[in-house]
A and B are shown apart, each in its own frame.
Chain A
Amino acid sequence: MRAINFAHGEYYMLGALVAWTALDRLGWPYPAAVATAVVVLALLGLAVSRLLMERLLVMPFSMAVLATLGVQLALQNGAQLVWGASPKFFGGGWTAPVQVGGVGIVGQQLVIFGAAAVLFAGLAWLVRRTHLGRAMRAVAQNREACEVVGLDVERVARITFTLGVTLAGLAGALVAPILVNVGTTIGLPMVLRCFAIIVLGGVGSVPGALVGGLILGVAESFVAGYLTLQLRDAVGFTVLIAMLIVRPQGLFGVRVRS
C-alpha cells in the first residue's frame, strides 16, 4: 500500500499478549489461544482501518506517518495499562524438542515453519492469482487510476490492512512460546526488523519478503552465535545497507520510475 506504518509491530505484541491472556488467565489450550489472538486482532485491524487508515489514504505522506506514530504510542502504552510493564511468562506451545533427521528442534519452531510456508503460499496465490490481489497491486501502483476505473480503493485498503494486522497478531501468538517472556515493548524492534526485511527483499514483493526474512534470520543467528549477542540488532541493517548499495531496488524489486 506504500505507506510506512510504525504501529505494525504493536499488533504483533498484542497478538502475543492476547494469546497469553487466553492461555494463562482463561486457562484455554494453546491452539484456542492462538485462534483468539487471530480473531481479536482481525477485529482490531478492521476497527483501526475503518477509523483511521482509510482516511489516511488521502493525507500527505508525512502526516500519515505521524498518525501511525500516534497509533504506535497509544497501542503500546495502552497495552501497558492493561497488562502492566513487566513481561509475562508464556507457558504454552509445544516446547519439547523433536528429533528431525538427528537434529533436535523445538516443536513450536516446526509449527512456525509450517505456518510460514502455508501463509507464504497463500499470500503469493492471493496477490498473484486472485481478483483481490490484482486490485491490491493496482492500488499500490496508481491509486487515482484505480478510482477512475471504478475500483473501491477504500475496500481494498481495508482488506489489505486487516489482513496485515491479523497476520502480525498470528505471528505474535506463534512466536510467543519461543520468546518465553512477552512484554509490551516487543513491538517496535520487530517493526524495524520488518522494514529491513521488506526493503531487503523489495517493497511489494511476497517472495522478496520470504528471502529477506531468511537472510536476516540466518545473519542474525550467525552473529549472535559466533560474535556477540549485543551486535545482533545491527546485523540486519548492515546487510541491508550493503545490499542496497549494490542493488538499490531490493532483491526481488523491480526498478520503478517515480
Chain B
Amino acid sequence: MALLAPLAASDYVLHVAVLSFIYLLPALGLNLVYGYAGLLSLATGAFFGIGAYASALLALRLGWPFWLAFPAAGVVCALIAVPMAVPALRLRSYSFVMVTLGFLVISESVAKNWIGLTRGDMGLIDIPRPRLGTTALASVTQLYYLTLITAVLAALAFRAVVRAPAGRALIALRDDETLAEAYGLDTWRFKLAAFVLGALLAGLGGSLYAHYTTVLDPLVFDVFHTLTLMTIVFGGGAGTLGGVLLGTVVFLFVPEALRVTPQWRMVIYGVLLVVFVFRLPGGLGPALARRLAHREAA
C-alpha cells in the first residue's frame, strides 16, 4: 500500500507522509533512549538540528553529495553525543532531563550566533536535493520513495538492535537498574551506547530534513519539534517499535488534518492529547495490540 500511495495521494498528503518518514528516525532515537534505556532526553531534538546543519553545511560549503553528507551527519551527532553523555549520564531523573534541555537551548543559541558558519537567523538556503546519477530527486514522489526506504531501513535496524542481546540488556536496565547491575550488566556502557545510537538516528533524520526542505534556520531547534517527538514516542507507546511507527503517522497527520480549522487547530490538538492520555494511558501501539489479541481470542 505504501509503495503505491504516490499514484493515488495528492502532493500535499505525500508531503506529510515524507515528513512522518523523516520524523521516524529521531523518534526511533528517542524511543531507544527513553523507551529502552529509560533516559528522558530532550537532546534528541538538538541532534536532529545538528544533523540538519552538519549535512547542509557539508553539502553547501564543501560540495559533498547527499549520499556522503547523510551518513556524515549521523557520525557528527554520535561524536558530539559521547562527550555530552559522559558527564550527563552521571545524573538522575530531573537533572538529566534538564541537562538535555539545556543542550537543546545552547545548540539553538550557537546556530543563531555563530553567524560565520550558520548565517544565524538568515538561515541556509538552496541546500541541494539528493541526486541519483545526474538527476536531482526533486519531486515529492521521488523523495517519498527515498524517505520510505530510509524509514524502513531505520525500523529494521532498530528491530535488530533491540532484539540483540544488547537490546535485552537495555530492557532489563529500564525495568530495574539495580537488579540489572546486580546481574552483572555494565549499565553505564549500555546507556552510553543507547544515547549515542539515538543521537546518530536523530542526526540522520536531520540530514533528510535539511535536504528535503532545502532551507534551514535556527527554528529547527525550537522546543516544539522536541515536543512533537515526545508526543510520537509517548503517545505511540514508548519501548515498542510498532507503537512508534504508528505514532509517527498518527501524530503528524492529525495536526495536518485539523488544518481545516486553522485557528482552533492547536487548541483541539492539545485537548485531544489530554483526552488521549486518559483513554489510552499505555500509548497507541500497545492498546491496538491488546485490541487485536482480544479479537483473536474471541
Q: Which residues of A contact B (CB under 8 A)?
A: 4, 6, 52, 55-56, 59-60, 62-67, 69-78, 81, 188, 192, 195-196, 198-199, 203, 228, 230-231, 233-234, 236-238, 240-241, 244-245, 248-250, 258
Contacts and interface: CB of A to CB of B under 8 A. Distances in A.
A82 B62 CA distance: 49
Q: Which 5 A-B pairs have the closest CB atoms?
A: A237-B102, A70-B273, A74-B270, A73-B270, A234-B109
Interface string B270-298: 11111011100111000000000000000
Interface string B211-251: 00000000000010001001101110010000000000000
A142 B62 CA distance: 56
Nearest to A81: B263
Nearest to A227: B113
Nearest to B96: A244
B15 interface: no
Nearest to A51: B274
Contact of A70 (B87, B106, B271): B271
A72 B91 CA distance: 27
Contacts of A73: 266-267, 269-270, 273
B101 A74 contact: no
B109 A233 contact: yes
Contacts of A56: 277
B185 interface: no
A54 to B, nearest CB: 12
A231 B109 contact: yes
A21 to B, nearest CB: 19
Given A59-B277, A62-B234, A237-B105, A70 B270 contact: yes
21 contacts: A6-B227, A62-B34, A62-B238, A63-B234, A64-B277, A66-B273, A66-B277, A69-B231, A70-B274, A77-B265, A192-B101, A195-B97, A195-B98, A195-B101, A233-B108, A234-B110, A236-B105, A240-B99, A248-B90, A248-B92, A258-B93
B interface, by DSSP: helix, strand, loop or mixed?
helix
Nearest to B35: A62
Contact of B274 (A52, A231, A245): A52
Contacts, number: 135
A249 B90 CA distance: 11
Interface in B72-121: 87, 90-95, 97-99, 101-103, 105-106, 108-110, 112-113
B87 A245 contact: yes
Contact of A74 (B91, B99, B231, B271): B271
B84 to A, nearest CB: 9
Contact of A71 (B235, B265, B270): B270
Contacts of A81: 263-264, 267
Nearest to A195: B98
A91 to B, nearest CB: 27
A80 to B, nearest CB: 8
Given A63-B277, A69-B270, A70-B271, 14 more contacts: A56-B277, A62-B233, A62-B234, A70-B270, A70-B277, A77-B265, A188-B223, A192-B223, A195-B98, A199-B98, A233-B108, A234-B105, A244-B98, A248-B95
B86 to A, nearest CB: 10
Contacts of A237: 98-99, 101-103, 105-106
A236 B264 CA distance: 34
Contacts of A64: 277
